[in-house]
Amino acid sequence: MSNPRTLFDKIWDNHVVHRQDDGTCLLYIDRHLVHEVTSPQAFEGLRMTGRKVRRPENTLAVPDHNVPTSGRAQGIADEESRIQVETLSRNCEEFGVQLFGMNDIRQGVVHIIGPEQGFTLPGMTIVCGDSHTATHGAFGSLAFGIGTSEVEHVLATQTLIQKPAKNMRITVEGDLLPGVTAKDMILHIIGVIGTAGGTGYVIEYAGEAMRKLSMEGRMTICNMSIEAGARAGLIAPDETTFEYIKGRPLAPKAGNWEQAVAYWKTLPSDAGAKYDKEIVVQAADIEPQVTWGTSPEDVVGISAFVPAPSDGRDANKKSAIERSLDYMGLKAGQRVQDIIIDKVFIGSCTNGRIEDLREVARIAKGRKVAESVYAMIVPGSGLVKLQAEEEGLDEIFIEAGFDWREPGCSMCLAMNADRLSPGERCASTSNRNFEGRQGRGGRTHLLSPAMAAAAAIAGHLADVRDYE
């Protein structure tokens, strides 16, 4: 009998096209997602060498980073952004790649639309020129971000040159406390292992609390694996996964469906499979989380206080805390709930799905956004927007004073017109709180959609459990 293997080992083994003596592998890539920012130079490379896209039918493109989230009928005002989006359209046409254009109802953030369309399936290898490709690992597919040179490599050959990562398993035992969501789990985990804790690993998330998450919660978890340094996160596929996929436009159809599910059921890690590193977290230790600094590992519970440089584990971390406090305009020892905010951003590939919006609506219903706060909601895709409107969520948002916008990456990275001004402070459901991430001099606090809604209403960081 063969050695017990992890989910990662199985997917890896199933995709090795060729293995060199030194262990370097040529890995087959099942699905390739493409967006406008990291692809123009790759298509240009193909053009210059006279190469074609090997598997256009396994490639799907969408503009998301640069698109405006209001007034789309007027096109894109910023010339460079417009050229980049037009370049994507032209490249897709020339190379025969399917594109969901800016005015297509299926357009949205690249990591939202893959799962939504059934383009993302268990056991696959999936890549995209974007670090949050880890999102798709929620389906038990090996999904990771690549640079533009590798985008060109995949377009030309449908493969990548890779070496296997190490296996890490993070188990969250027990049940989550009320008010605690997938976002709080992953922020807490990043706080525990650090922003480089997963470097060189693929993280498999396991345990009762993970198994009970919906697919949307699982996507939030896997999405932020990169913020823990891991290129990919994985959750074993189960009935929740199959139920989510069934009936989606690109999902296997009758006849193939049974065969696909039978295969997917062979994927979960074998009993006794070996992990290079194991972390166990107790669900009961997690309260609603919020970041205070400029790295996702700078995270605390909402009832905590802002740390001091002396809390750093070494000299480098001490000076990093000092720099973060200065950038964020915070004082050591300050109560986190006293931090006043100017803006709220709800959306992104981390938290722009329908369940996230339902959470916001649940907290916002019958309440008002604080007068001092501007709060925007950017749905993850046109289809998420449509569904929210069919459920009447948009009316709750607008009634409460939220700005209800068009789908895109928006203020997660502020490449379009949605951004913070210097010194502005934002409660954000996105994934990065780096210096300048949401606009130069902008100050970001990462939190869950429900916590963001509570902050919008309170006008300061607040404990969502007081709003249930």
Residues flagged as binding site for [4Fe-4S] cluster? 349, 409, 412
- Determine which residue in the list 150, 355, 356, 418 makes contact with other proteins, applying CB under 8 A: 150
- Determine which residue in the list 242, 365, 435, 459 makes contact with other proteins, applying CB under 8 A: 435
Interacting stretch for other proteins, rule CB under 8 A, among 183-191, 194-202, 348-356, 457-465? 194-202
- Determine which residue in the list 13, 24, 246, 466 makes contact with other proteins, applying CB under 8 A: 24
Q: Is 110 exposed, middle or buried (0-12, 13-18, 19+ CB in 10 A)?
A: buried
CA gap 198, 228 in Å, rounded: 5
- Determine which residue in the list 70, 72, 87, 101 makes contact with other proteins, applying CB under 8 A: 87
> Is residue 252 helix, strand or coil?
coil
- Our finding on whether 282 is near other proteins (CB under 8 A) is no
Nearer to other proteins, 228 or 281 (CB): 228
Nearer to other proteins, 215 or 414 (CB): 414
Beta strands in 283-380 (DSSP E): 289-291, 299-301, 343-346, 374-377
Residues 98-137 within binding reach of other proteins (CB under 8 A): 121, 124, 129-131, 133
> Quick check: 429 and 411 in contact, CB under 8 A?
no
- Our finding on whether 159 is near other proteins (CB under 8 A) is yes
Nearest to 291 by CA among 255, 265, 330, 264: 330
Nearer to other proteins, 274 or 317 (CB): 317
Nearer to other proteins, 69 or 181 (CB): 69
User: Parallel, antiparallel, or unpaired: how do β-strands 159-162 and 25-28 relate?
Assistant: antiparallel
- Our finding on whether 265 is near other proteins (CB under 8 A) is no
Which residues does 334 contact at the CB level (< 8 Å), separation at least 6?
305, 306
Residues 202-241 within binding reach of other proteins (CB under 8 A): 226, 229-231
Nearer to other proteins, 2 or 49 (CB): 49
> Quick check: 407 and 344 in contact, CB under 8 A?
no
Walk across the sheet containing 232-234 and list its strands. 232-234, 201-206, 166-173, 277-282
- Our finding on whether 69 is near other proteins (CB under 8 A) is no
Binding mask 162-191 for other proteins (x = CB under 8 A): -x----------------------------
- Our finding on whether 34 is near other proteins (CB under 8 A) is no
Q: Any bridge partners for residue 234, and if so which? A: 204
- Our finding on whether 146 is near other proteins (CB under 8 A) is yes
Residues 285-304 within binding reach of other proteins (CB under 8 A): 295
List, as one string, the DSSP characters of 28-94.
Answer: E-SEEEE-TTTSHHHHHHHHHHT---S-GGGEEE---SS--SS-GGG---SHHHHHHHHHHHHHHHH
Place of tokens 């409107």: 389
Nearest to 350 by CA among 212, 238, 230, 447: 447
Q: Which two tokens stand for residue 379?
A: 């749905």
- Our finding on whether 266 is near other proteins (CB under 8 A) is no
Nearer to other proteins, 133 or 181 (CB): 133
Residues 364-403 within binding reach of other proteins (CB under 8 A): none
CA gap 39, 413 in Å, rounded: 17
**Is the Cα dihedral 114, 380, 234, 229 positive or negative?**
positive
Q: How far is the CB of 327 from other proteins (least distance, A)?
A: 10
Q: Which two tokens stand for residue 283?
A: 């669900």
Give the up-direction half-sphere exposure of residue 4: CA atoms within 13 A in the CB hemisphere: 8
Nearer to other proteins, 112 or 260 (CB): 260
- Our finding on whether 418 is near other proteins (CB under 8 A) is no
- Determine which residue in the list 77, 105, 161, 340 makes contact with other proteins, applying CB under 8 A: 161
- Our finding on whether 56 is near other proteins (CB under 8 A) is no
Number of helices (H), then strands (E), in the chain: 16, 19
Size of the site for other proteins (CB under 8 A): 77
Residues 309-368 within binding reach of other proteins (CB under 8 A): 316-317, 320, 323
Interacting stretch for other proteins, rule CB under 8 A, among 16-24, 340-348, 386-394, 398-406? 16-24
Interacting stretch for other proteins, rule CB under 8 A, among 51-59, 214-222, 277-285, 376-384? 51-59
Q: Which two tokens stand for residue 25?
A: 């592998």
Interacting stretch for other proteins, rule CB under 8 A, among 97-105, 274-282, 366-374, 436-444? 436-444
- Our finding on whether 158 is near other proteins (CB under 8 A) is yes
Q: Is 290 exposed, middle or buried (0-12, 13-18, 19+ CB in 10 A)?
A: buried
- Determine which residue in the list 44, 104, 322, 424 makes contact with other proteins, applying CB under 8 A: 44
